[in-house]
């Protein structure tokens, strides 16, 4: 008889231990600090991707024909920068001095050193992205580089002949 009772009785279930809930990283350092850390981490990853992309572009820029719109989007912050490039392209190989550019851009109320700084910024940006200069300093004048003439599709000889006439 004992054997039948022993078989029917089940051992008492063990009380379930509650798993201790661990705090998340956001709870440990604070939600705002955690979000800032995540953003910084993501920005570092994006910067690495941008660097790789630039390195690839530097490697293949000889085989790629760049459009003027792409270069303008890359280096120009506003319409003033685009106008400066336009004036330099049309000035040809001889170039234009900073005071003359400032005079041509009088509607934007620019000083000669502001024009120079804008040109240097555009050059720095393009040098960083494609390892090419957009504008060169020749003598005491700024002139579009051969890269700029290739992008805008105006050979230097054509531009010179155009301005001689």
Asked whether the beta carbons of 61 and 132 are under 8 A apart, the reply is: yes
Q: What residue spans define the domains of the chain?
A: 26-60, 68-164
pLDDT in tens, 133-155: 999 999 899 999 999 998 888 65
Could you tell me the fold of the domain covering 68-164? Arc Repressor Mutant, subunit A (1.10.10)
Task: Give one DSSP letter per residue of 80-106, joined into a string.
Answer: HHHHHHHHHHHH-TT-B-HHHHHHHTG
Higher pLDDT residue, 18 or 157? 18
User: What percent of the chain clears pLDDT 70, i.e. is strictly above it?
Assistant: 87
Query: How far apart, in whole angstroms, are the C-alpha atoms of residue 135 and residue 77?
Result: 16
48 is written with which tokens? 């690495």
Q: Answer yes or no: is pLDDT of 36 > 80.
A: yes
Query: How far apart, in whole angstroms, are the C-alpha atoms of residue 13 and residue 39?
Result: 48
pLDDT band at 157 (very low <50, low <70, confident <90, very high): low
């Amino acid at each position: 008889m004992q054997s039948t009772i022993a078989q029917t009785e089940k051992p008492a279930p063990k009380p379930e231990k509650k798993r201790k809930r661990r705090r998340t990283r956001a709870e440990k350092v604070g939600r705002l600090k955690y979000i800032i850390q995540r953003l910084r981490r993501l920005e570092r990853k994006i910067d690495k991707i941008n660097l790789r992309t630039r390195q690839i572009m530097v490697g293949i820029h000889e085989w790629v024909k760049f459009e003027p719109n792409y270069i303008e989007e890359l280096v120009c912050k506003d319409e003033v920068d685009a106008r400066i490039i336009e004036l330099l392209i049309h000035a040809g190989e001889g170039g234009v001095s900073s005071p003359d550019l400032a005079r041509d851009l009088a509607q934007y109320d620019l000083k000669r050193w502001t024009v120079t700084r804008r040109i240097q910024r555009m050059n720095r940006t393009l040098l960083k992205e494609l390892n090419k200069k957009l504008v060169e300093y020749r003598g005491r004048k700024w002139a579009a580089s051969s890269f700029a003439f290739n992008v805008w599709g105006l050979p230097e000889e054509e531009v010179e002949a155009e301005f001689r006439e």
